[in-house]
């Protein structure tokens, strides 16, 4: 069985290029919020939900204003994932699963728009967002107000999924089969945030590994070019982050056929779209 993968951008933020890739300079660049849309015989799977207009309001109060000031959100009503899906004839209730790579606002901003979906997210990440407060929550980039009130009832911890063959993602490990047919495989990519996940999608044309923020720039994967040193302070586990980058680099070298796609690299997203269309 094959699936179809569409790559959407649900809003964006701007930041200095050098934050994502050391030495890239201070010029502001656009960081799109990637949403992967997997059409499967059993329904639709989303990988992250990007921004939605509610994020602007959520990040305008209290300590969250610091987050919103550092990473200004640009998203119109027609740019949300749910609006773009509707324009393609896909209803919100058609979405059976949302795989959340991690719980930062640019990945969960639209999560409330899909009330019928199971939410695939590491349980320990959800436990963390319920526990941390104040500066600790800000440092981790977490905004609990963006999460559905019934998340606990819809949560599907990836560790409870059937094991998948790790051969296609070696040297990564811990692969889990989301749909039972090997077309959508969830892979731990630790370091950037607690319980960070990646998703391998096997389409008819190419295999694509959506890595979320395990890498911010494609050159982190191809050339091991790390982000600015300040990112070390914002990472859940910097040593594991660098080991994940190294593992992704080795995977890309071993599998040149595989598209390894960061969530915020605009040029890489455009190239991936073109390759999937061929």
Q: DSSP for the chain, please give it.
A: --BEEEEEEEEEEEEEHHHHSTTS-S-EEEEEEEEEEEEETTEEEEE-----HHHHHHTTSTTHHHHHHHS--B--GGGSHHHHHHHTT--GGGEEEEE-S--BHHHHTTGGG-TTSEEE--HHHHHHHHH--HHHHHHTTB-GGGS-TTHHHHEE-GGGSPB--GGGGTT----EESSSSSSEEEEE--SSSTT-EEEEEEBSS-EEEE-TTS-SSHHHHHH-----TTHHHH-S-HHHHHHHHHHHHHHHHH-TTSEEE-SS-HHHHHHHHHHHH-
Q: How confident is the model over 226-274, as pLDDT tens digits?
A: 887 777 777 889 999 999 999 999 999 999 999 999 999 999 999 999 9
Q: What is the mean pLDDT of the chain?
A: 90
The mean pLDDT value for 29-38 works out to: 94
Confidence of residue 66 (pLDDT cuts 50, 70, 90): low
Q: How confident is the model over 147-166, as pLDDT tens digits?
A: 999 999 999 999 999 999 99
Of 53 and 132, which is predicted with more confidence? 53
- Report phi then psi at 40, rounded to 5: -130, 155
Q: How confident is the model over 71-120, as pLDDT tens digits?
A: 788 999 999 999 999 999 999 999 999 999 999 999 999 999 999 999 99
Residue 43 pLDDT > 80: yes
What is the CATH T-level fold of the domain 4-277, as seen in this structure?
Metallo-beta-lactamase; Chain A (3.60.15)
User: Domain segments of the chain: what residues?
Assistant: 4-277
pTM attached to this predicted model: 0.94
Residue 185 pLDDT > 80: yes
Contacts with 54 (C-beta within 8 Å, 6 or more apart), sequence order: 109, 112, 146
User: Residue 34 to residues 65, 131, 159, 269: CA-CA distances in angstroms?
Assistant: 23, 27, 24, 8
Distance from C-alpha of 190 to C-alpha of 225, rounded to nearest angstrom: 18
| Cα 271–Cα 273–Cα 274 angle in degrees, nearest 5 | 65
CA count, 13 A, side-chain hemisphere, 268: 25
pLDDT at position 62 is 72
């Amino acid at each position: 069985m094959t699936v179809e993968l569409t790559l959407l951008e649900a809003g964006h933020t701007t930041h200095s290029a050098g934050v994502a890739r050391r030495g890239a300079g201070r010029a502001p660049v656009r960081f799109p919020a990637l949403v992967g849309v997997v059409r499967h015989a059993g329904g639709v799977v989303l990988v992250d939900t990007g921004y939605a207009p509610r994020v602007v309001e959520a990040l305008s109060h209290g300590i969250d204003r610091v987050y919103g000031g550092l990473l200004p959100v640009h998203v119109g009503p027609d740019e949300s994932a749910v609006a773009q899906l509707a324009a393609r004839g896909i209803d919100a209730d058609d979405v059976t699963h949302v795989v959340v790579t991690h719980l930062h606002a640019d990945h969960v901003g639209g999560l409330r728009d899909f009330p019928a979906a199971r939410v695939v997210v590491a349980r320990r990440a959800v436990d963390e967002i319920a526990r941390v407060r104040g500066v600790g929550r800000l440092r981790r980039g977490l905004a609990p107000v963006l999460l559905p009130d019934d998340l606990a009832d819809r949560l599907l911890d990836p560790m409870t999924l059937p094991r998948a063959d790790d051969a296609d993602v070696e040297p990564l490990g811990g692969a889990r089969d989301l749909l039972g047919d090997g077309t959508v495989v969830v892979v731990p990519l630790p370091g950037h945030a607690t319980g960070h996940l990646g998703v391998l999608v096997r389409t008819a044309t190419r295999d694509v590994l959506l890595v979320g923020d395990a890498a911010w720039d494609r050159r982190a994967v191809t050339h091991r070019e790390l982000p600015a040193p300040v990112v070390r302070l914002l990472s859940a586990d910097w040593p594991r982050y660098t080991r994940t980058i190294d593992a992704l680099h080795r995977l890309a070298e071993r599998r040149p056929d595989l598209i390894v796609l960061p969530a915020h690299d605009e040029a890489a997203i455009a190239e991936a779209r073109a390759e999937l269309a061929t």
